[in-house]
Structure 1
Amino acid sequence: MTLQRRQFIGATGATLAGLSTASLSQRAGAQTAAAVSQPPFAPPPLLAPIQARTDRIVDITVCTRPFRAAGPRIEAQRIGRQTVVHNYGHGGSGWSLSWGSAKLAVDLALTTKEKHLAVIGCGAIGLTTARAAQRAGLRVTIYCRELPPEVRSSKATGVWSPDSRICDEAHATPAFRQQWEAMARLSHQTYQRMMGLPGDPVEWREGYVLSDIPFDQELPDDEAPPRHPEPEYAELESELLRDLHPRSVALSPDQHPFPVPFARRYTQMVFNLPAYSQMLLGEFMRDGGEVQHREFESPRQFAALKERTLVNATGYGARQLMGDNSLVPVRGQIARLVQQPEVRYGLNWRGHNLNVVSRRDGLLVQSSVDGDFDNEDTTPDRAVAEAAVQRLAMLFARA
């Protein structure tokens, strides 16, 4: 059976249909059994197939996620005559936690009573912190080497992933969990107010987790141990944020078009990073913000700034700038395919090292390789990108 001939009839749709008709029956009091059984909604449309061809790769980018085993560093430090508030080390959760993290940093900055604030860095954390500081009534100048889209965080997949490499399990103390949950909830709430804005900077999209074996079965371990074993990351979202997004729904084989026996449909929040970054930067400038291009090699250079309160939001750059060797780079590569506006869903093929995110600027195909952990090499690997796209093509081969 081909992709074009099969369509989804989701379990959630059937549930909603039953609830809606039952409610109508109670209010009207005279619905017939036949009328009650009729679904009030049309069946969902066919899924548009992804054109998974290597000749449609238009860009390959690599970023280094700044992982700290103890989690983000959000604290104030006195350096000479200045107060430096550190706000870095968010792993793969920078965009997801940015607003909650920014509030913590800005609250620390406000204790100095200074009205002017310097923000070092213009990535996800720096730009968001600058906007949060403006909203708190501060005059803000961003000092940075690069602007979006050249910053590292512009190369992220741009999905809501608040516990992605946020800390290791050993550091997920009750106090950290409480702080993390507060950051995640504030960020999530802020993003809900951006839904539907021009350019769709943030939106909800559906996706499908696919598997060759039942989801309750563990995937077989690879025979060869990884060269750079990663730590056991803390998994917090499923435990503390279960109320913030719809539950995934199990699908039977006749409810999805993919050549695998097991699938679940989920709903995911996606950041369209080009539009979102430009929106933040535009709002920052509109509200009187200033940007100065400057590169710092040592915190001693902070003394040349006129501001007495600074926020250090340099991400992985803080490893060299501050000598923070607790920061570990986790390499991540993305191959971007030509955008298909009709494809509005993501994919994750369990056990096949394949993740796809559908954004307005293209289809992002991501896969990892042994050696990504503690690897700061940002050289794109075309062979890895093409292999991932070829695996993706297997899901859309015609029967």
Structure 2
Amino acid sequence: MSTVATMAKDVLVLGAGVIGLTTAVCLAEEGHRVRVWAERPPARTTSAVASGLWGPGTTPRDSAWSKVTFGEFSALADDPASGLHFERGLQVSRVWSEPPWWVHDFVDVEMCAPDELPEGMLIGFWCTAPLIDLPRYLRYLTDRLAAHGVEIEERTVRDLAEATAAAPVVVNCTGVAAGKLAADEDVRPVRGQHVIVRNPGLSDFYVELGGEHEWAGYFPHGDRLILGGVRQHGQWSLDPDPEVAEQILRRCIAVEPKLADAEVVGHEVGLRPGRTEARLEEERIGESRVVHNYGHDGLGVSLSWGSAREVAGMLAD
């Protein structure tokens, strides 16, 4: 019998966004007996409306997690079911005058000469990076769980004691809801909104870095193009704001005139789990172990496999 099998545990994962599903996949594939409870199904989580661009972590710990995730995404790129595709794109900033230290975590980085920069930008670089079609990717993760007999049960947990009464090990991946569930005052919603248009033929992505509240960005996923973006701190509304949508369109059209005639096919809103840094630590509630894995803000996709592997390592002890 393998080491993992002899140490298999009953684990309840709370949350079915990209952090919860990835963590559940890691644990199930290492031999643990996993259940998933989630207030919302994967298709209705914030993860489902993310732009899907992988980016490197900006702290030593997050950088390590993002590199683990990059490796996993590289291995998935040949599987059409995963929704994973690598694309070339331009990243620029009107805020930073020097490239960030983590820029070379991207692939095929080529810095722009000053005369190649879009108007108003101080730095820019072309690179190749993973883009993840999140609706398809979340289905892919759900299928990986199903292959291990794990189904997602829609259930609202109002108190961690309710979860610990059901399992000796609980992994809390509830995103912005963790603020109330774990009594963590550091968690706050960071509202994002996207405009979805029919892709007019763009294959490169574009994103402005360093913008605290608003910026231009577009992210191709086949015939679907996601336009962003905003960061609205402390706002809980999930209703699309027509004025914000108009501002997003205006900024993106200024960068890429082809978008002026693109057909708008939808609007999406999500609440990023804002926190000074992601929380990954263990506590005891009664006789149960609770591992918190939340607060990844806008880097949930990028840090997902790294933090999930760390949870798996903690439970292997």
TM-score (norm 2): 0.68
* Shift in CA distance, 215/289, structure 1 to aligned 2, threshold 3 Å: closer
Per-residue deviation at 1:144? 1.1
What letter matches 1:189 in structure 2?
G
* Shift in CA distance, 243/353, structure 1 to aligned 2, threshold 3 Å: closer
Which residue does 1:355 correspond to in 2?
A: 217
Which residue does 1:204 correspond to in 2?
A: 86
State whether structure 2 residue 175 is matched by structure 1 residue 315.
yes
> Please, which runs of 5 or more residues in structure 1 have no aligned partner?
1-109, 165-171, 218-234
Residue by residue, what CA displacement relative to the aligned partner does 1:256-309 show, whole Å, maximum 9, x if unpaired? 9x788986433222111111111110111012113222111111212442x211
State which of 249, 267, 272 in structure 1 corresponds to 2:128: 267
* Shift in CA distance, 207/320, structure 1 to aligned 2, threshold 3 Å: same
State whether structure 2 residue 228 is matched by structure 1 residue 366.
yes
* Shift in CA distance, 261/132, structure 1 to aligned 2, threshold 3 Å: closer
Per-residue deviation at 1:359? 1.8
Residue by residue, what CA displacement relative to the aligned partner does 1:346-391 show, whole Å, maximum 9, x if unpaired? 123578821111123621111326xx12333333111111222123
* Shift in CA distance, 348/186, structure 1 to aligned 2, threshold 3 Å: closer
Q: C-alpha separation between the residues in 2 aligned to 1:394 and 1:334?
A: 16
What letter matches 2:238 in structure 1?
T
Q: C-alpha separation between the residues in 1 aligned to 2:133 and 2:243?
A: 26
- Give the number of aligned pairs: 251
Asked if the contact 2:88/2:129 (under 8 Å) is kept, the reply is yes
Per-residue deviation at 1:314? 0.5
SS of equivalent to 1:159: coil
Asked if the contact 2:56/2:106 (under 8 Å) is kept, the reply is no
What letter matches 2:169 in structure 1?
T
State which of 144, 147, 158 in structure 2 corresponds to 1:283: 144
State whether structure 2 residue 15 is matched by structure 1 residue 133.
no
The aligned runs of 1:74-223 (5 Å cut-off) are: 113-163=7-57, 177=60, 179-199=61-81, 201-209=83-91, 216=97
Decide which moves more: 387-396 or 115-124: 387-396
Q: C-alpha separation between the residues in 2 aligned to 1:392 and 1:194?
A: 30
Asked if the contact 1:210/1:260 (under 8 Å) is kept, the reply is no
SS of equivalent to 1:196: coil
State whether structure 2 residue 253 is matched by structure 1 residue 393.
yes
Identity among equivalent positions (%) equals 22
Q: C-alpha separation between the residues in 2 aligned to 1:159 and 1:366?
A: 12
Which residue does 1:239 correspond to in 2?
A: 101
Asked if the contact 1:345/1:358 (under 8 Å) is kept, the reply is yes
Q: C-alpha separation between the residues in 2 aligned to 1:390 and 1:240?
A: 30
Asked if the contact 1:154/1:273 (under 8 Å) is kept, the reply is yes
Asked if the contact 1:207/1:345 (under 8 Å) is kept, the reply is yes
SS of equivalent to 1:367: strand
Per-residue deviation at 1:248? 2.9
* Shift in CA distance, 243/314, structure 1 to aligned 2, threshold 3 Å: closer
State whether structure 2 residue 197 is matched by structure 1 residue 337.
yes
SS of equivalent to 2:42: coil
SS of equivalent to 2:78: coil
What letter matches 1:376 in structure 2?
W
Q: C-alpha separation between the residues in 1 aligned to 2:82 and 2:152?
A: 25
Q: C-alpha separation between the residues in 1 aligned to 2:256 and 2:63?
A: 39
Q: C-alpha separation between the residues in 1 aligned to 2:69 and 2:32?
A: 20
What letter matches 1:391 in structure 2?
R
The aligned runs of 1:1-80 (5 Å cut-off) are: none
Structure with greater strand percent? 2
* Shift in CA distance, 194/397, structure 1 to aligned 2, threshold 3 Å: closer
Once superposed, what is the RMSD of the aligned Cα atoms? 3.3
* Shift in CA distance, 114/136, structure 1 to aligned 2, threshold 3 Å: closer
SS of equivalent to 2:20: helix
> Please, which runs of 5 or more residues in structure 2 have no aligned partner?
259-317
Per-residue deviation at 1:192? 0.8
SS of equivalent to 2:77: coil
SS of equivalent to 2:41: coil
- Decide which structure has the larger Cα Rg and report it: 1
State whether structure 2 residue 153 is matched by structure 1 residue 328.
no
Q: C-alpha separation between the residues in 2 aligned to 1:125 and 1:281?
A: 12
Residue by residue, what CA displacement relative to the aligned partner does 1:138-189 show, whole Å, maximum 9, x if unpaired? 121111121121012212111112437xxxxxxx6xxxx2x33332222111
What letter matches 2:195 in structure 1?
A
SS of equivalent to 2:79: coil
SS of equivalent to 1:246: strand
SS of equivalent to 1:288: coil
What letter matches 2:226 in structure 1?
L
* Shift in CA distance, 397/162, structure 1 to aligned 2, threshold 3 Å: closer
